[in-house]
Chain A
Amino acid sequence: MTEPADFDIVIVGAGPGGGACAWALSSYGYRVLVLEAGPAYDPDTDYLLDKPEWEQSRFPDRAQYKGRYSYGTMQKLESRWDKLRSWNHIHGRFNKTDRRAVFGYHHMRGIGGSTLVFSGEAHRFHPDSMKMNSRFGFAADWPIDYRELEPYYCSAEQIIGVAGPDNDPVRFRSKPNPLPAHQHSYSNMRIIEGFRKLGMNMVHNSVAILSEPYDDRPECNYCANCNRGCPRQDKGSVDVTFMKKAVDSGFCTVRTDCQVTRLEAGPHDTISEVHYVDSRGNAESVSGKVIIVACGAVESPRLLLLSENSHAPDGPGNESGHVGRHFMETISWVASGLHPEPLGSFRGISSDSICWDFNAPDSIPGVIGGCRFAIAASEAELVGPINYAQRVVKGWGREHKEAMRRSFGKVLTLSSICESLPHDKSFIDLDPDEKDSLGQTVARIHSYLDDMALRRLEFAADTIREALPASGVEEIFEEYGNYDFFSSTHVFGTCRMGDDHRESVVDRFCRSHRWKNLFIVDASVFPSTGGGESPSLTIEALAIRTSEYISDLASKGEL
C-alpha cells in the first residue's frame, strides 16, 4: 500500500544525524516523517538505575531490535604485537586464539540511536584531521573545513546543552559553550596529577551532560552511568533533545519499529519511494520530496546496496563504486588498575577529563593519525560491585569478601581512542549467505588493522602504562583493545563525502552526486575519523548544515 505523499521529508533513522535533521527541518515548517527501526524508550520507566539489580544489564535494549551483521575473516595475530593482547589478571587472555576475534558492532536502534548509550562526549573535530590527504597523504580531505562547520557546532551545542571549557587553543569557537564545565571528580584528580607528572595535560571534557539546569531539564547528579540510559534526562541524548523538539513542533511524525528495506530509485535521478515493514509486519511505502538516510556507517551502505534496480544497477549513490568502501572503525585501548587509597571512583560523570596532547594527526612520533586519552571507569563498566567482584578482586570465599571491602571504589581507568584510517581490506558489503529476520541480506563487516594502526595503538597502550602508575596505581589488572578484537561503537567512511563524484558518494552538503533528493547524514560520510574525537556532535552539526541547505534549495524551487 502506498501512502499519499503527505511528507516533504522522509528520514530513515533517529540517531544524531536523523534526529538533528528532524529538528532543523521541522523547525523550518516542513512536514517530516521519521522512520526508526527500533522503539522509543521511556526514561521514566525503562531505565534500571534505581534498582538493586541495575548492574546486571547494560542499556535495557530489547533483543528483537538488535541488528544482525556478519563479519569477514579477521586477520591472524602475530607474536610481535603480543603486548597489545587483551587480558585480565583473573581470566587471562580474553582471546585465546591466534586470530583476531569479533566482539561486535555495537549499534543501537531506537529513538536517539547510539546517543542513548553514549557517555555524553560532545567533541569538535581537530581542524587538521579534516585535511588528512593534502596534509599527510592518507584518507581523503573533507570538502569543507572547520570554519564552515563551526556555526553549526554552536547550534548543536545549544540544543543538547554542552558543558565544557571555552579555551581550546586549536578549535576556534564563535560562541561559548552554553554551560560551564563539570568539576573534576575526587578520583580523577589523581589521574590529572599523574598526567602532569608526565608533562601532559588533562583538561575538562566537553560533554552533553548538564552542569546546571537547562532547557527544562535538571542538572546531572553524577551517578556515572550515562551508558545505561539517563533517567533524569540531563544527558543530551537525541531522544530528549532534537527529537523531542521536532515532535513538539507539530511538524514531525515518528514511526517506531519500522524497518526500511529499500529505497526505490526512479527516473529523473530521484528516489521515488521508501519501502519499509511496519511494527505489525506489513509492507508499506512512503514518498517524500527529500529522502534522508541516517542509519550509520554499516546500515546506510547496506540500504543503498540493497536498493539496486534498473535505474540504479549498483544501488543509488553507488555510481562511483565507493559505497561500502573506506570503512573506518573504533581503535581503542582501555586499562584499569587499583589505587591504594579510597577514591569513590564510581562517582561523577562518565568522563570529566580528557587529554588532547596527541590528538593532532602528526603529534605521535613516527605515526600518522592522532589519539586522545580520557578517564573511563564508566566506559570500562568498573563502577559497580558486580564487576569488581568478577574482574578486580581475585579469589573466592571469606578472603574475597574482605578484599571487596578493601578495594571497592579504588579503580582508576584510562582509555585512548585513536584515529582509524581507510584500508583496502576494511569495507562493508552484503553477505550472500546471511539474512535478517525480514529475509533481507545483512551487511558484512571486513576489518583490517595495518602496522600504522597498531603502532598508534601501541603508543596509546605505552602511554597509559606510564600514566596509571604516575597516578598512583600500584598494579594494572586489566587491559583490552582492538588488536585482538573487532569491537566498534564509532564507525565511519562508507559513503564518503567529496567534491569529486568519481571518488565519493555525496557532495559537500551530504547530497548524492546523482540522486538529487537523496541525502546521507551520519558518520558514513566522514572522509576521516579524527584523532579520537567522539563523532556525534560533528554528525549533528553536519545534519543541521545539510538541513539549512535543503531549505535553501526548496525555497529556490530546486527540489
Chain B
Amino acid sequence: MNKISRRLFLKLSLGAGLLASSGYIFKTVLWPSQVTPDETKTLSAYLDTLIPPDVTPGAVQLNVPEMIISKSRTDRKYRRLIKKGCRWLDTQAGDFKTDTFASLGGETRQEIVKIASEAERSSLPGIFFKQIRLDAFFYYYGTAESWEGLGYDGPPQPLGFPDYTYPPGEIT
C-alpha cells in the first residue's frame, strides 16, 4: 500500500479545507440563498413592529414585506443584510425563551427593536435597523392607503393643489 507523504497529506487537507470554506463563503457571503419562509415570518413581524396597524393599516397589510423581499432578490448584499438581521432578531428572541421573533408578543418585540434602534450605527443591528426603517417607510408611504389622517390629498396629479393659498383643509 502506498503511503501518503506528510507533504501530500497537508496539501490535500488544505485543499479540502479551502473547498469547504469557499462553499461556505459562496453561500453566505457571495451569493446568499433567497429569503426563506421562516425569515419572511421574522421580517414581517419586525416590519409590523416598525409600522403597526392602528387607524391605518400596518406594514404587513400593505405588503411591505413582499416589496422588501422582492428588492432583495436581485441585490445580494441587501439579501445578506436581511438574513443576518432576521437571525439577530431570532437570537434576541432566545433571551425570552422563544425560538423566533415572530412568536413574541408585541411588547417584547418592541423591546428588541428598541435595542436595534439604539445600537452602534456601524453594528449589524444598527445597520439593519437604519436600512430597513428607510425601506419600510419608502414602500409603506408609497401606497395611498397609508395617507389617511395625514391631511394629504395626493398623489400630486392630476388634480394638483389649487387651494395652495389657503390654510390646509379650508377649501375642499
Residues on A close to B: CB < 8 A? 47, 49-56, 91-92, 183-186, 220-225, 231-232, 342-344, 346-348, 383-386, 388-390, 395-398, 400-401, 404-405, 408-409
Contact = CB atoms under 8 A, between A and B. Distances in A.
Chain B: interface residue count, which band? 35 or more
A184 to B, nearest CB: 7
B113 A221 contact: no
Contacts of A408: 150-152
A56 B142 contact: yes
B149 interface: yes
Contacts of A220: 160
A397 B142 contact: no
Q: Which of B133, B147, B156, B166 has most A Cβ within 10 Å?
A: B156
A56 B151 CA distance: 20
A517 to B, nearest CB: 44
B157 interface: yes
Contacts of B146: 385
Contact of A389 (B137, B160, B164): B137
B133 A185 contact: no
A384 B159 contact: no
B138 A386 contact: yes
A223 B54 contact: no
22 contacts: A47-B157, A222-B161, A223-B160, A224-B164, A342-B168, A343-B168, A346-B152, A347-B163, A347-B168, A348-B164, A385-B141, A385-B154, A386-B137, A386-B138, A386-B142, A395-B117, A396-B49, A397-B51, A398-B52, A405-B151, A408-B151, A409-B151
Given A222-B164, A224-B161, A390 B152 contact: no
Given A47-B157, A346-B152, 5 more contacts: A53-B142, A225-B157, A344-B161, A344-B168, A396-B113
Contacts of A409: 150-152, 168
B141 A389 contact: yes
A222 B167 CA distance: 15
A152 to B, nearest CB: 32
Contacts of B150: 385, 404-405, 408-409
Main secondary structure of the interface of B (DSSP, over half): loop
B161 A346 contact: yes
Main secondary structure of the interface of A (DSSP, over half): loop
Contacts of A232: 157
Contacts of A398: 52, 54
B164 A397 contact: no
Contacts of A343: 167-168
Q: Which of A92, A185, A346, A396 has most B Cβ within 10 Å?
A: A396
Nearest 10 CB-CB pairs, A to B? A221-B160, A344-B168, A347-B161, A223-B156, A389-B137, A347-B164, A385-B141, A49-B157, A223-B160, A408-B150
A396 B161 contact: no
A46 to B, nearest CB: 13
B165 interface: yes
A222 B156 CA distance: 9
A8 to B, nearest CB: 40
Nearest to B163: A347
A216 B147 CA distance: 35
A347 B171 CA distance: 13
A54 B141 CA distance: 10
Interface in B118-172: 121, 130, 133-134, 137-144, 146-147, 149-152, 154-169
A203 B168 CA distance: 23
A390 B138 contact: yes
Contacts of A389: 137, 140-141
A342 B167 contact: yes
Contacts of B152: 346, 385, 408-409
A400 B50 CA distance: 9
B156 A54 contact: yes
Contacts of A49: 155-157
A385 B147 contact: yes
Q: Which of B147, B161, B162 has most A Cβ within 10 Å?
A: B161
Contacts of B157: 47, 49-50, 54, 221, 223, 225, 231-232
A185 B164 contact: yes
Given A223-B161, A344-B161, A52 B156 contact: no
A385 B156 CA distance: 12
B91 interface: no
Nearest to A51: B155
Contacts of B144: 52
Contacts of B149: 405
A1 to B, nearest CB: 39
B50 A396 contact: yes
Nearest to A96: B121
B154 A186 contact: no
Contacts of B161: 221-224, 344, 346-348
A280 B54 CA distance: 53
B106 to A, nearest CB: 10
B156 A386 contact: no
A222 B141 contact: no
B63 interface: no
B110 interface: yes
Given A92-B121, A385-B147, A405-B149, A224 B156 contact: yes
A122 B156 CA distance: 23
